[in-house]
Structure formats: structure tokens, C-alpha cells
Amino acid sequence: MIEVIRTIGDAGRRMADFRRKALSIGLVPTMGALHDGHLSLIGRARADNDRVVVSIFVNPTQYDDPEDLERYPRTLAADLEKAEAAGADLVIHPAPEDIYHDGYRFRVTESAFSRELEGAHRKGHFDGVLTVVLKLLNIVRADRAYFGEKDWQQLLLVRDMAAAFFVATEIVACPIVREADGLAMSSRNVHLAPEERVLAPEFHRILQTGASTEDMHRQLVEAGFGVDYVAKRGDRILGAVRLGKVRLIDNVQH
């Protein structure tokens, strides 16, 4: 049975034990509702490290919509089975009051890139993300931490934050894992109605067309999506759309 640690103090003591034994540690931060995308991160961490730690924490501070927070799937029993089968050694599953014992008085705020794209549509989102990730990096002090490229903006911000605060953990990027029809795997996909699930892969298909961002925006609207943005940043085209109550993000190289 996989080891489950529920307090920050216990987690710190267990990580110190690993370090005393000179064991390398890989961290996979998640909010649970694990799917094959998460499991690919765990598999990569297993290949790279002596011990693999998965955090499961539905982070309240990155939500600007209480209903969205409430809807997030919570499937701990299934998550523990999947994490163990994928190669995790232990799961850290803390309570919000343990992570935010300060009442969220102190937080990480990035003043440029976090205001664009996702940040422009989700007020305070990246403050919550960066704050909880920094806390987890400090708790685990892993050699490596693994993040999926689906959340491309998040990945870049986490990597830059780690560099800015001299965090020794290497931030490792892992490829997007997709369904057979191209839809990027996400815990929120379970909330798509059947007809929305049929339409959802069009999002990725349109991002791959090589059209202008304006034309992609038009195509997505005509297909039936609500569009928050389609934008080019570096070598990526990033997009965020809505189907019913579900918000999808994706990106492709161009």
C-alpha cells in the first residue's frame, strides 16, 4: 500500500530521511483526479529518481470562481491506486489549513507574464499557483519537479520563479498527453456533456491549422466554442476556450 502523508511536519521528516540516505527525489505536484497525463509525469519521475513523491492538493487560492473549485473532481482512493501503479513511493495529501497556516497573508506575485493570457481571464490565479508550488518545493526539496506542457504559461512561470528564488530543484517539462482524437487530457474533461466531448477535439485541430490567430479565433467561434484567447508566444500558439461550464486550454508549437 502506498504511503500517504497528511501533514507538512511529517512530510518534512520523511524527506529528510530520504536525503540522509542520499536518495534522489522526484516531485510530481497535482490536484488529484489523476489521468494518463499525470501518470506520464510519475513515470518520468520514476525513471529519473530513487524516490517519487506525488502531492495531491486541490489548491483553493488559484480559483477566482468558488463553483469551479467545488466542481473539481476529488477521487483520492482511485488516485492512490493509480499513483502507486505508476511508480510513486508516497503521496503528500495535506489539509488547506496546513498549507495556508498563515491565512494566505504571504504570497508570490509575478508582475508581468502572469497578467497575460490565463492571468488576464483568471484574477489571482497565478498568485495561487506560484505560492503553492513554492511551498511544495520548499517542503519536499526535491532534486527534480515535473510539470506538463499543457499548462505552458504555468510551466514557464514556475521555472522562472524557481530561478528567481534560487530554488535548487530542477523544473522538468513533460510533453502533453492527448486522447486518441487529439483532446489534451485534463481532469475537467469528465464534466463535458456527450455532445461537448464530440466537439472538444476541434480545439486542438484548429490550433494546428497554421492560420492566423484571428482566423483561428473565428473558426473556434463558428465551431461553437466560447473563446477567451488565441495568442502566439515564442514558438507556441496558446488558446483557452469554453464549452458549457468547462474551460479548456491547449497549445501547439508553430
CA distance 67 to 222: 28
Q: Are residues 110 and 156 in the same domain?
A: yes
Q: What CATH number corresponds to the domain at position 120?
A: 3.40.50.620
pLDDT-derived band of residue 65, with 50, 70 and 90 as boundaries? Answer: confident
- DSSP structural state of residue 169: S
CA distance 105 to 143: 28
Q: What CATH number corresponds to the domain at position 194?
A: 3.30.1300.10
Helix (H), strand (E) counts: the chain? 11, 9
What is the count of structural domains for the chain?
A: 2
Task: Give burial (CB, 10 Å; 0-12/13-18/19+) of 147.
Answer: buried
pTM equals: 0.96
Q: Are residues 54 and 84 in the same domain?
A: yes
Residue 164 cell numbers, joined: 528567481
Dihedral sign for Cα 59, 62, 65, 71, please: negative
Active site residue 38: yes
pLDDT, averaged across the chain: 97
Selecting among 35, 38, 125, 204, the annotated active-site residue is 38
pLDDT-derived band of residue 254, with 50, 70 and 90 as boundaries? Answer: confident
Residue 31 three-state SS = coil
Express as a percent the part of the chain with pLDDT over 90. Answer: 97
pLDDT tens readout for residues 95-143: 999 999 999 999 999 999 999 999 999 999 999 999 999 999 999 999 9
